[in-house]
Amino acid sequence: MDNKSQPIFAHTMDHVDSNETKLCEVAKHPFGIFVVYLQVGVGLILAVGLSYFLLPSVMDDTSQAFLYANLFALVAFAFSIVGVILTSLIYRQNRLVVTDRNITQILQYGLFSRKVSQLNMVNVEDVTALQNGIFQTMFGFGDLKIETAGEQVNFHYTYCPRPGYYAKIILNAREQILGQNDGDIRVASAPTTTAPIVAPTTAPDTTISE
């Protein structure tokens, strides 16, 4: 098949190539989006509560004040639902894809803001799993930090479920690919020697004839 007829998505970083084996795909822990839900809920309660409390005190017609308060509460609730849905969709797009060759980090900042970074497994220097606080310990999530060699940007994946487990997967893949590379170098650099062929020597005939 001609390369021009292949889909363009086959050449993007966030897709696994045919010569790679996907080891895991890590989505962010639900606790991160739960915090957003909690913030939206508290904000909605405060806004609606203040509208019901303040409007009757500043308006002469109490029935008209409650009508405006009900209208404001309905609009605020609708905007909150839309915001929660969009935030959930954006949050679920964040993920970490680990193959036997590369690590791809996909960070979705907004509907039209996205960052995709890829790191070759050979360039991984160290992997650290961090869990701080009671919530991270209780719910089993934390930060996964992947340190790279040279001037390459380190990966910092927050709200990672079971960070110790996925850190071990990455370290095992790194050890395996480094072992394969070392083996290839040894085979390629090993000199081949051929022993010279020496013709057998025959002892001179020392028989004395009478």
Please report the pLDDT score of residue 182 as a whole number: 57
Please report the pLDDT score of residue 159 as a whole number: 96
Q: What is the pLDDT along the chain (210 residues), one digit of tens a residue?
A: 444 444 444 557 667 777 889 999 999 999 999 999 999 999 999 988 888 887 776 666 677 878 888 888 899 899 999 999 999 999 999 999 999 999 999 999 998 999 999 999 999 999 999 999 999 999 999 999 999 877 778 899 999 999 999 999 999 999 998 887 654 433 333 444 444 445 455 444 544 444
Please report the pLDDT score of residue 184 as a whole number: 45
The CA distances from residue 81 to 75, 88, 122, 195, in Å, are 10, 11, 44, 81
Query: Rounded CA gap, 193 and 157, in Å?
Result: 51
Sequential DSSP letters for the chain: --GGGS-GGGGSTTS--TT--EEEEEEPPTHHHHHHHHHHHHHHHHHHHHHHHHHHHH-S-HHHHHHHHHHHHHHHHHHHHHHHHHHHHHHHT-EEEEESSEEEEEEEEETTEEEEEEEEGGGEEEEEEE--SHHHHHHTEEEEEEEESTTPPPEEEEEEESHHHHHHHHHHHHHHHHHHHHHHHHHHHPPP--PPP-PPP-PPP-PPP-
Please report the pLDDT score of residue 49 as a whole number: 85
Please report the pLDDT score of residue 52 as a whole number: 80
